[in-house]
Amino acid sequence: MCNCTNLTGNNLGQDWMRGPRRDRGAGGPPSWAGRGWRSTVPIEGPQLAPPPPNVLRIVAATMDGRGAESVISQRFARAPFLTVIDIADSRIVYTRSFPNPFAGLPHGAGMAAAQWIISIGAKAVLGARFGPNLGMVLQQAGVAIHTVPPGIRVLDALLNLRIIRTPY
């Protein structure tokens, strides 16, 4: 503790902090600090109609938005793009890539991505690494998790897993 004084004789030590101490005993930050960053609008993924009967919907975490030609990303929930693939009779019938709206979240990206995947009716996911929350939620929802090497094309991953027989 400093016992310094200025020219007027005022104590410049810790006296400036004295006064109503709202940050002690009440728990948490002082009232002026706010409650942290919160988004004003909940972040949601693109809305898709549920897949038709007998169609398998798969979501892949990809590095670019080229559909089935996209390359698998190293991370799932924070991948730059999410690619939705619908498969019927072992053939790809629909592909669409979206910029990942969950990639920039400060926390909870895996949980938000898992909720979106379940909401669009996906039955399987493709990715290189899955976080613990994402994996747990998807397993509880009955979504199959397929781990594939990063850098492989989505099309090649589907062929290697024998989900499809021919490219298109």
Domain of 62: which CATH number?
A: 3.30.420.130
Burial-class residue 21 by CB neighbours within 10 Å (0-12, 13-18, 19+).
exposed
CA distance 55 to 85: 10
pLDDT for residue 94: 95
**65 domain residue, yes or no:** yes
**155 domain residue, yes or no:** yes
Burial-class residue 117 by CB neighbours within 10 Å (0-12, 13-18, 19+).
buried
The reported pTM is 0.75
**73 domain residue, yes or no:** yes
Mean per-residue pLDDT pooled into runs of 10, the chain (168 residues)? 54 53 58 57 80 96 96 97 97 96 92 95 97 94 98 97 86
pLDDT for residue 40: 43
pLDDT for residue 5: 53
Residues whose CB is less than 8 angstroms from the CB of residue 142 and which lie 6 or more positions away in sequence, other chains included: 123
**129 domain residue, yes or no:** yes
**23 domain residue, yes or no:** no
pLDDT for residue 149: 97
Residues whose CB is less than 8 angstroms from the CB of residue 115 and which lie 6 or more positions away in sequence, other chains included: 137
CA distance 71 to 74: 10
**24 domain residue, yes or no:** no
Containing domain of residue 74, as a range? Answer: 56-160
**167 domain residue, yes or no:** no
Residue type, 21: R
| β-bridge partners, 97 | 83
**70 domain residue, yes or no:** yes
Q: Which helix (H) or strand (E) holds 140?
A: helix 132-140
> SS3 for 33-49, per residue?
HCCCCCCCCCCCCCCCC
The tally of domains found in the chain comes to 1
| β-bridge partners, 132 | none
156: left (phi over 0), alpha (psi -120 to 50) or beta: alpha
Long-range pairs for 97-100: beta carbons < 8 A, 24 or more residues apart? 97/62, 97/64, 97/65, 97/66, 97/67, 97/70, 98/45, 98/46, 98/65, 99/65, 100/61
Helix axes 109-119, 132-140, angle to 10 degrees: 20
